[in-house]
């Protein structure tokens, strides 16, 4: 049984933070642009700004009808900071831009170059568009030789943005704790899945974690406080803890006995790899975050408190809120919302010049209603699993993780609802038409591209439920891979289609 009290949760639910932001809205300042709106922080900032009456535009690399539906009244503009020619339109007429772009998912070898180039392109385009102000959320730390690549890259992004005529407000934060944040999910999985936890020596470095709700208060607070224009601030939660204490506190709250001990081995890639096998977060992201454990990340000054008087919550309260959201199945955004490294995977099935040659189709006629079948389709994966052949899906996911892929551990944001862009294990929702159609794009490591399509056709008295697997490859290895899997398709997809129909009867 968890050691946190139900009164803690009730208190957590009773205080919607939108109404606790200590500054007053200035909705007539002009249009506000949120970049990185498909990411963890950006996706939560948009609704808060909407609530305060701002005219908002979001910039995403892949706009979808779903975003427009999710955020009515918000203009969605396509822009890729690595392609400067795409930035003119999103920045046109913008007063203030939130810069929340981050390429961490590219992994340690690539994110730095991509992030600096993105910031430099964005700064130039913003200057050309006459943007009045930029607000950037980066990381804590000082540019010293021992600083991790991840943290120094975050600081260099700030310097790149600041090298312009536009005043930039920089907020510097350490670990963000909230439902769906990568750090929260890593700690949560390590504590709940392991009984013995060998730790590198540097887990005794200090950190000042901050809850996502306080980050949002500060982001909105600086927008609404002209005195913060062009300045840099450290933001942190109420507690300064070692990483070890953070894990111990979490274990204590969950009433879990986990034996934590120092291991005389500090090779981070190895820790990251092993951790990736038991947590939903892939190794390249864990590795970049773990590199940061070598540094103390504590606020140097609390100057911000005088201008934006936020009372940050404790680490414990941040955990309670995150767990509560999870239990209520109300996670709004997740680290996995941002697209994976191989962004070319985002090519849509219907955008391919020629549809893939390799397909497998399975169908079943049923008298279940289209709506109930669709509901059942929309619950697959995550904790619900993949019916009888779940072990095969898990094995495929585990093999993917072993070779550095996203694996099956990412699960789902919500057990009951799905939207375009959501992750389901090693798939991502590419298209969704309620009651009729669901298209998933594979994100596991493959010698090609794959999709899984679900269609429901209404024949009057009955419905046809169809599953179609698509595979595109140009290599011999890809073709061999497809043919090797054909016998398994029969087992897995027949089970899946029957399982979906059966699940309707159960619900």
What does DSSP assign to residue 452?
E
* Residues counted in the chain: 507
**Residue 322 and residue 178 in contact, taking contact as beta carbons nearer than 8 Å:** yes
Spatial CA neighbour of 200 closest among 278, 257, 276, 269: 269
Smaller CB separation from ligand NAP, 61 or 413:
61
Secondary structure E strands in 62-167: 75-78, 96-99, 133-139
Smaller CB separation from ligand NAP, 103 or 366:
103
What does DSSP assign to residue 152?
H
Q: How far is the CB of 262 from ligand NAP (least distance, A)?
A: 25
What does DSSP assign to residue 314?
P
Q: How far is the CB of 161 from ligand NAP (least distance, A)?
A: 11
Q: How far is the CB of 50 from ligand NAP (least distance, A)?
A: 17
Q: How far is the CB of 133 from ligand NAP (least distance, A)?
A: 17
Q: How far is the CB of 100 from ligand NAP (least distance, A)?
A: 4
What is the 3-state secondary structure of 372-440? HHHHHHCCCECCCECHHHHHHHHHHHHHHHHCCCCCCCCCECCCCCCCCCCEECCEEEEEEECCCEEEE
Residue 397 forms beta bridges with which residues?
A: none
Name the site residues for ligand NAP (rule: CB under 6 A).
35-36, 38-42, 60-62, 80-82, 100-104, 118, 137-139, 154, 173, 175-176, 181, 183, 335, 338-339
What does DSSP assign to residue 98?
E
Q: How far is the CB of 51 from ligand NAP (least distance, A)?
A: 19
Residue 9 zone, left/alpha/beta (φ > 0; ψ -120 to 50; rest): alpha
Smaller CB separation from ligand NAP, 154 or 412:
154
Q: How far is the CB of 364 from ligand NAP (least distance, A)?
A: 35
Smaller CB separation from ligand NAP, 104 or 504:
104
* CA 132 – CA 230 distance, rounded (Å): 11
Q: How do strand 206-207 and strand 241-242 relate by DSSP bridges?
A: antiparallel
* CA 174 – CA 137 distance, rounded (Å): 10
Spatial CA neighbour of 123 closest among 172, 158, 78, 75: 158
Instruction: Give the distance between the most distant pair of CA atoms in the chain.
Output: 71
Smaller CB separation from ligand NAP, 109 or 367:
109
**Residue whose Cβ sits closest to ligand NAP:** 39
Smaller CB separation from ligand NAP, 154 or 463:
154
What does DSSP assign to residue 297?
B
Smaller CB separation from ligand NAP, 120 or 192:
120
Smaller CB separation from ligand NAP, 139 or 381:
139
Smaller CB separation from ligand NAP, 135 or 467:
135
Q: How far is the CB of 394 from ligand NAP (least distance, A)?
A: 26
Smaller CB separation from ligand NAP, 60 or 500:
60
* CA 479 – CA 489 distance, rounded (Å): 15
Smaller CB separation from ligand NAP, 154 or 410:
154
* CA 262 – CA 329 distance, rounded (Å): 35
Q: How far is the CB of 79 from ligand NAP (least distance, A)?
A: 6
**Residue 173 and residue 236 in contact, taking contact as beta carbons nearer than 8 Å:** yes
Distances (CA, A) of 199 to 106, 190, 202, 404, 455: 25, 11, 8, 22, 48
The token duo for 365 is 């006629």
Smaller CB separation from ligand NAP, 91 or 137:
137
Q: How far is the CB of 82 from ligand NAP (least distance, A)?
A: 4
Q: How far is the CB of 429 from ligand NAP (least distance, A)?
A: 13
Q: How far is the CB of 358 from ligand NAP (least distance, A)?
A: 28
Q: Which residues of 346-365 are buried (b: 16+ CB within 10 A; e: fewer)?
A: beebeeeeeebebebebebe
What is the 3-state secondary structure of 235-248? ECCCCCEEHHHHHH
């Amino acid at each position: 049984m968890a050691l946190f009290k139900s009164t803690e949760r009730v208190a957590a639910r009773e205080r919607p933070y939108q109404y606790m932001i200590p500054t007053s809205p200035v909705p007539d300042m002009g249009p506000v642009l949120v970049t990185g709106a498909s990411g963890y922080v950006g996706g939560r900032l948009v609704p808060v700004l909407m609530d305060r009456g701002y005219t908002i535009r979001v910039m995403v690399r892949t706009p979808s009808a779903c975003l427009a539906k999710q955020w009515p009244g918000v203009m969605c503009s396509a822009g890729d900071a690595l392609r400067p020619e795409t930035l003119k339109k999103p920045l046109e007429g913008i007063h203030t831009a939130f810069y929340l772009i981050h390429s961490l998912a590219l992994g340690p070898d690539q994110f730095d170059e991509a992030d600096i180039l993105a910031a430099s392109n964005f700064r130039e385009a913003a200057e050309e568009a006459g943007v009045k102000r930029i607000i950037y959320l980066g990381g804590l730390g000082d540019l010293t030789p021992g600083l991790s690549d991840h943290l120094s890259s975050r600081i260099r992004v700030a310097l790149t943005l600041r090298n312009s005529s536009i005043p930039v407000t920089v907020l510097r934060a350490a670990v963000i704790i909230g439902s769906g944040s990568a750090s929260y999910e890593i700690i949560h999985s390590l504590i709940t899945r392991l009984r013995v936890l060998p730790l590198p020596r540097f887990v005794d470095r200090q950190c000042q974690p901050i809850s996502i709700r306080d980050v949002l208060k500060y982001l909105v607070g600086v927008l609404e406080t002209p005195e913060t224009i062009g300045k840099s601030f450290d933001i942190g939660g109420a507690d300064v803890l070692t990483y070890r204490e953070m894990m111990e506190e979490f274990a204590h709250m969950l009433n879990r006995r986990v034996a934590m001990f120092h291991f005389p081995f500090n090779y981070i890639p190895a820790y990251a790899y092993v951790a990736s096998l038991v947590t939903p977060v892939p190794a390249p992201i864990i590795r970049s975050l773990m590199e940061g454990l070598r540094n103390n990340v504590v606020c140097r000054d609390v100057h911000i408190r005088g201008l934006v008087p936020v009372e940050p919550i404790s680490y414990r309260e941040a955990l309670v809120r995150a767990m509560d959201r999870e239990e209520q199945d109300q996670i709004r955004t997740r680290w996995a919302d941002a697209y994976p490294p191989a962004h070319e995977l985002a090519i849509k099935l219907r955008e391919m010049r020629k549809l893939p040659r390799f397909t497998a189709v399975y169908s079943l006629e049923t008298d279940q209603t289209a709506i109930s079948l669709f509901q059942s389709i929309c619950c697959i994966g995550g904790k619900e699993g993949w019916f009888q052949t779940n072990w095969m899906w898990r094995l495929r996911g585990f093999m993917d993780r072993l070779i550095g892929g996203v694996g099956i551990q990412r699960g789902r944001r919500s057990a009951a609802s799905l939207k375009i862009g959501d992750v389901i294990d090693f798939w991502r929702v590419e298209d969704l038409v309620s009651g009729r159609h669901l298209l998933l794009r594979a994100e596991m490591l493959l010698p090609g591209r794959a999709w899984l399509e679900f269609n429901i056709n209404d024949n009057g008295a009955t419905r046809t439920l169809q599953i179609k697997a698509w595979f595109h490859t140009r290599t011999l290895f890809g073709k061999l891979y497809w043919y090797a899997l054909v016998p398994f398709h029969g087992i897995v997809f027949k089970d899946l289609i029957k399982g979906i129909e059966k699940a309707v009867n159960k619900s």
